[in-house]
Chain A
Amino acid sequence: MIRHFAKGFPCVAALAGLLGLASGGALAQNEVKSPTLDAVKKRGQLICGVDTGIPGFAFQDSAGKWQGLDVAYCRALAAAVLGDPEKVKYVGTTSKVRFSVLQSGEIDVLIRDSTHTLTRNTELGLAEPAVNFFTGESFMVRKALNVAHVKELNGATICVLTGTTLELNIADFGRANNIKINTLLFEKPEEAFAAAEAGRCDGYTDDGGSVAASRSAMKNPADWVILPELISREFLGSYTRQGDERWSILVKWVHYAMLEGEVLGITKANVDQIKGETKDPETRGFLGLEGNFGKFLGVDNDWCYKIIKSVGNYGENYEMYFGPNALALPRGWNELYTKGGLQAPLPWR
């Protein structure tokens, strides 16, 4: 029965392709066909999948309001589509269920510090529109161990969260360097932190941003050091469903809008002033005063203005959630391309 169905599948795919072509034709008249975008507009609310709670990316403040870099992206997307950054429903997802929740259509987009990989793009059938945080797997160990490099961790036990790409990285790193790092696999960070605190493991590992966050969550952060090496590439970003190309494109350009704001020096504070005064064609195009970039994406022409006005540019958000007053994580790879980083928006042309 399954095989029979697999046989029928190309026909379905071909049909879907034809439909895609048809929508491509309609695009000439500036009409964007996207089931997800239509659903969001009709609902008047964006349903955004985020982390269940991790400082820096997505967490609830003392007033119960969602904060964080990933949350800023949800707000930016809602501002672009619906004109109001508050029209977002946040769904906290664990690392185990996040992709199933997206595939089943429960959420419109998943922005949950998730690593982009080949198998998630192919086997899971998901689209990977944009990387909003470049990092790698990083280690935090007890200062008393006097370890300066990851390679010196031979024989050490490290607490890890299960259901992630981290376990694989550790095993690969150990194999490449001919050392053995023991792992202890936890379901949730709370127990992993407590076990590290109790001395059951020598350290904790996660993506660079999360490790900085974990260190701030320890009883005495000064007892822990973050080792300088990143043993893997963990490029975290948004996920959408395949088959809704236009929605993925919009998610991608919302990310670029956050970056372009920083490139052009437009911030939450000065966006109104710049909009009133600017004569620079690039800035005028960006803010929707000229051209019709918004229409091509299926949103209002001043979508970038709305994004910057409601959440600010990328740099402002990084500063707020990872800067010296927050988790004190140097910007590194997440600097703009003009400053030697990897964050590079494509041109508004």
Chain B
Amino acid sequence: MVRRPSRRAYVGQWIFLLAVIAGAGLLLRMLAENLALRNMHFGFGFLASPAHFDIPFHLISWSIFDNYGRALLVSLLNTLLVSAMGIVAATLLGLTVGIMRLSVNWLIRNLALVFIESVRNTPQLVQIIFWYFAVLQALPPPRGSIVIPGGLFLNVRGLYVPDVIMSEGGLFAWLAAIALVATPFAWRLKFGAKRVGPWALLLPICAAGLLAAGTERIEFPKLTGFNITGGTQVPPELVALWAGLSIYSSAFIAEIVRSAIEAVPKGQHEAAQSMGLRRAPVLFLIVLPQAIRIMVPQLTSQYLNLIKSSTLGAAVAYPEIFQIFAGTVMNQANKEVETIIIVMAVFLAINLLASAFMNWYNERVALVER
């Protein structure tokens, strides 16, 4: 029929694609059919109906009059927050433990080994619940709050920090944020032959000035009735989930770091040492930059795992997307199929974006062979 192999491959691929689409269509049709049999209707219109329930921890404003769509956004931001915090902490901790694992000091080396083996070999959910109750048990009740200088309170309900209330609708805060983000780019800018370099540090100073100018008042937390009111509360659920996610992942990352460092040819090490470099510069200037190339693909999958594991937060009452959307909203809106589809699509999107970023970074650091 089609003689030329290259064209035959093309035709084959198209037929396969059509088959996949037809299969998906059939599944959708069956879904609609089965839902209709049960007097249920498939659709996403419920996102616009009011939620009428409270979300205990939110980064953007939330009231019980907001709709399910905003509940999705609020819980998504909570998921992103704990994932981002987890990735940063897991990377730093993993890097440290991984380097410790290669130390010449017996104690340091074996401490790292014990840490890795005990963390890696116990279930993550158990660890998260352990951290949650460890945190809760360690902290005093609200009336016996630990007062931290600067108007901070710490108790079993969380860490209370002063709330900065901005005037002008937060315009200054946005400008300050832009200035901060622009700093590293400004550092690399060149005017003629001269780099901007340390002059870029003027930007964060400006940002601080903008923040100071935009601050209307600072609301300090204070003890009233049952609880501490005012200020922003960092709930212990966030801290426990953060600890559980980052400590667990850091054990795996430590092993990735160790194996990547060991994979750098020994000659590199020896050559650097023979040039008279001390141990730290050898590690940070010669070995690690080469090891990063080996690490990145494996790190990517660790990061993706961490993001997905954030759904375990439901066990410790952290209002992330799985708990709020695939729990409360699913139950209240009576839309099981739709909510699960949305949650899966959101995780797919987050993870595809994360892995796209890591692939871009991988290409940047990868060895360019000519």
Contact = CB atoms under 8 A, between A and B. Distances in A.
Chains A and B belong together in one complex: yes
Interface of A: 1-2, 5-6, 9, 12, 95-96, 99-100, 103, 119-120, 122-125, 145, 154-157, 159, 162-165, 167-168, 170-172, 174-175, 182-188, 191-192, 194-195, 198-200, 202, 241-242
Given A194-B133, A199-B141, A175 B40 contact: no
Contact of A200 (B129, B136, B328, B334): B136
B289 interface: no
Given A155-B224, A168-B52, A191-B316, A1 B40 contact: no
A124 B334 contact: yes
Contact of B332 (A9, A154, A168): A168
B74 to A, nearest CB: 13
Contacts of A182: 54, 56, 227
Contacts of B225: 154-155
Nearest to A97: B336
Contacts, number: 127
A187 B331 contact: no
Which label, helix, strand, loop or mixed, suits the secondary structure of the A interface?
mixed
Nearest to B46: A123
Given A186-B317, A242-B39, A195 B136 contact: yes
Contacts of A159: 317
A100 B336 contact: yes
Given A2-B28, A185-B319, A187-B315, A163 B33 contact: no
Interface of B: 25, 28-29, 32-33, 36-42, 52-54, 56, 64, 129, 132-133, 136-137, 141, 156-157, 224-227, 229, 236-237, 314-317, 319, 323-324, 327-328, 330-332, 334, 336
A9 B36 CA distance: 7
A198 B40 contact: no
A184 B317 contact: yes
Please provide the 8 A-B residue pairs with the shortest distance between their CB atoms, ordered closest to farther: A125-B39, A198-B136, A167-B53, A162-B327, A123-B334, A163-B331, A2-B32, A171-B64
Nearest to A125: B39
B156 A199 contact: yes
Contact of A185 (B32, B156, B317): B317
Contacts of A187: 314-315, 323, 327
Nearest to A123: B334
A96 B54 contact: no
